[in-house]
Structure 1
Amino acid sequence: MDFRTDIFSLEAPSSKKFDLVGVKMPTNIDVYFRAKQKEIIDQYAAARIFMHETETDDWKHWFNEVEDKTANDAFKFIFTSYFYESALMYYNIVVDLSWVLCYISAEFACTQKGNRVDFSGMKSIEDAAELLRSAENNVTAPTAESNPFGYLKMMNPNFSPAIDIIISFWDQFSSTPIRRKYNFCKHKGKPAYSEIEKLRGGRLMGFYVEKRSTGEKSQIASDIRDVQFQFSLKEGIEELYKFDDEFLFPYIRDLLNELERVIQPSPMV
């Protein structure tokens, strides 16, 4: 599976040269931004690893093939569904982490142990890490009533373009099949895939009821497949591939670039 975009181009520069005289010392915000940047890229890489696995031909690595072709095909689809669902989860984690990235970059104070603590400046390792953990708990979906982005746009307008990037993306993404499938897997159950169900054969029996007034018959649910959330595994994978290159990558790239422009993190981080 060949992606047109390189997620590692989103990383901070790996080699840096700077003059110690007059160089900007790293602040909490600089360290927080670089930390979340790395975490996003790491999770993005995991998503692509599992996407590549959906095309694997190294099946002996996953299961021992048997003589029954139908059984082998079923095993391949089942393992492919695991890879697909893992990629689906990681892609959505990247989206959720983008909110955290922006919030900890734009926030200037956070309530910690009942006190309002300033984000600016430099703190000890213990205090900086504890403050970040507190701030991470404040992040919600961009359009949630409790989301702090509206307040931050007003109090810290330099970050308005970055927040607008997030809100625009979320408005387009939140109701897409990809997000709905992710929410289903996370909160409600496991999908049934049409490719796997075709190999399992038909139902044992069917039950019908007839309306006396109209003579219309309707079938009664008697098989678990009648009520499971079902879609094509192949189409789901193709949907994710297109989402990655055409939608997610430009979003993360633009958000990182905009935050980098505003924060101008110290080259020492």
Structure 2
Amino acid sequence: MEFINDIFTLQKPSKVKFELIGTKLPSSNDLFFRSKQEELIEQYSAARIFMHETETDDWNHWFNPVDDERAEKAFHLIFRSHFYETALFYYNAVVDISWALCYVAIEFACNKKGTRVNISGMKTIEEAAELLRSAERNVTSPTAEENPFEYLKMMCPEFTSAIDQIVGFWNQFAASNIRKRYNFCKHKGRPAYSEIEKLKPGKVMGVYVENKSSGEKTQIASDISDVKYEFSLEEAICELQEFDDNILFPYIASLIKTIEDILDPSPMVF
């Protein structure tokens, strides 16, 4: 599987030269932003690992070969579905982390043990870690009623463009198949894949009722396959790759650049 973008171009510069005199000292916001940037890229990388695995031809380390061609095909598809769902989870994690990426770059205070505490400036290791955990707890869906982004736009209008990018992306993404399938797998169950269902034995029986006046017959649900949330595994994998190439990567790349331009993080953050 070939992707058109290199996710490691999203990383902070690996080598930086700066003069100690006159260089901006790192603030907590700089540190928190770079931390979330690294975590986002790690999750993005994991998503691609499992997307690549959907095309593996090295099956020996996943299960023992069987003589039954139909059974072996079913095993291939079942494992591919697990790889797909794992990638699906990681891609959605990237989306969610993008909210935290922006929030911790903007937020100047958070609740620590019930008290409003300023998070700007430089902090001790213990205090910085605790403040970041506190800030992370405030991150919610961009359109949730309790979301702080609108408040932050008023307090820090220079970050309006970054917040608008997040909200605009979310408005398009929230109702997509990719988010819907992620939420189904996370909260409701496991989908059925049409390629796998075709390999299963047919229904034991079918139950029908007949309309006496019209003579039309209606089939009644009598098998668990009748109520499964079903879609094509192959099409879903292709859709996820298309999402990565043309939607997610451009969004993340643009968001990171926008925040970097506004925040101007200290080059001393490694």
* Counterpart residue number, 1:96: 96
Give 3-state SS (helix, strand or coil) of 1:150's partner. helix
Distance 1:75 1:43 in 2: 27
TM-score scaled by structure 2?
Answer: 0.98
* Counterpart residue number, 2:237: 237
* Counterpart residue number, 1:126: 126
Give 3-state SS (helix, strand or coil) of 2:139's partner. coil
* Counterpart residue number, 2:164: 164
Distance 1:241 1:178 in 2: 11
Give 3-state SS (helix, strand or coil) of 2:116's partner. strand
What runs of 5+ residues in structure 1 fail to find an aligned partner?
Answer: none
* Counterpart residue number, 2:110: 110
Percent of matched pairs sharing the same residue: 64
Residue 201 of structure 1 deviates from its aligned partner by 2.6
* Counterpart residue number, 1:200: 200
TM-score scaled by structure 1?
Answer: 0.98
**Alignment length, in residue pairs?**
269
Residue 209 of structure 1 deviates from its aligned partner by 1.5
Distance 1:137 1:25 in 2: 26
Letter paired with 1:183: N
* Counterpart residue number, 2:152: 152
Q: What do residues 81-138 of structure 1 show as CA deviations (whole Å, max 9, x unaligned)?
A: 0000000000000000000111111111111111110021011111111111111111
* Counterpart residue number, 2:142: 142
After superposition, the CA RMSD in angstroms is 0.8
Query: Does 1:4 pair with 2:4?
Result: yes
Give 3-state SS (helix, strand or coil) of 1:103's partner. helix
Matches within 5 A, 1:40-119: 40-119=40-119
Query: Does 1:215 pair with 2:245?
Result: no
Letter paired with 1:105: A
Give 3-state SS (helix, strand or coil) of 1:147's partner. coil
List 4+ stretches of structure 1 deviating above 6 A: none
Give 3-state SS (helix, strand or coil) of 1:265's partner. coil
Q: What do residues 119-169 of structure 1 show as CA deviations (whole Å, max 9, x unaligned)?
A: 210111111111111111111110111100000001100100000000110
What runs of 5+ residues in structure 2 fail to find an aligned partner?
Answer: none
Give 3-state SS (helix, strand or coil) of 1:21's partner. coil
Distance 1:166 1:245 in 2: 18
